[in-house]
């Protein structure tokens, strides 16, 4: 009785295909994780930069007189030139609400200035809004 025994040396086609599939799965998973980490860190960097500009604007509002911040379009142009605000990256919107507008018997001593910075990231419109109270001296 002679039996032929096949040699088990080398890789078969199934072994190669399985290895290639596993390699592609891990590679795509690692690439996806890397891409998500990169997007998140870029978003944090842009958000941090925008918050820095908002803080500078808030500090500048504190330094200005009540009358200087009366006309917000003029003040907006002034602050953009003072802090080198990148208008190509961010959109700055300043609005104000005086307490005299809501209560006609009040004296014009306090107003709320809304600082709104808008930017696009990953084809989505994002914005940061901060309220700043300005009191007449």
Question: Distance between CA atoms of 42 and 89, rounded to whole angstroms?
Answer: 14
Please report the pLDDT score of residue 110 as a whole number: 86
Name residues of the chain where pLDDT drops below 70.
Answer: 1-11
Question: Distance between CA atoms of 93 and 118, rounded to whole angstroms?
Answer: 8
For 34-51, the pLDDT digits (tens) are: 999 999 999 999 999 999
Please report the pLDDT score of residue 55 as a whole number: 94
Please report the pLDDT score of residue 137 as a whole number: 77
Please report the pLDDT score of residue 130 as a whole number: 94
58 burial via Cβ count (<10 Å: 0-12, 13-18, 19+): middle
Buried b (16+ CB within 10 A) or exposed e, 104-129: eeeeeeebebebebebeeeeeeeeee
In this structure, the chain runs to a length of 137
Question: Distance between CA atoms of 56 and 95, rounded to whole angstroms?
Answer: 17
Question: Distance between CA atoms of 137 and 120, rounded to whole angstroms?
Answer: 38
Phi, psi dihedrals of residue 68, rounded to the nearest 5°: -65, -35
- Distance in angstroms between the alpha carbons of the first and the last residue of the chain: 112
pTM above 0.95, yes or no: no
Question: Distance between CA atoms of 123 and 90, rounded to whole angstroms?
Answer: 14
């Amino acid at each position: 009785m002679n039996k032929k025994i096949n040699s088990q040396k080398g890789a078969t086609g199934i072994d190669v295909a399985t290895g290639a599939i596993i390699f592609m799965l891990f590679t795509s998973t690692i690439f996806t994780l890397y891409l998500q980490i990169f997007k998140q860190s870029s978003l944090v960097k842009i958000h941090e930069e925008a918050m820095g500009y908002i803080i500078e604007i808030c500090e500048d509002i504190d330094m200005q007189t009540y009358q200087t911040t009366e006309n917000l379009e003029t003040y907006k142009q002034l602050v953009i030139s003072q802090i080198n605000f990148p208008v190509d990256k961010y959109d700055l919107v300043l609005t104000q609400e005086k307490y005299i507008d809501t209560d006609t018997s009040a004296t014009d001593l306090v107003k709320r200035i809304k600082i709104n910075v808008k930017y696009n990231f990953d084809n989505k419109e994002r914005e940061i809004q901060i309220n700043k109270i300005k009191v007449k001296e």
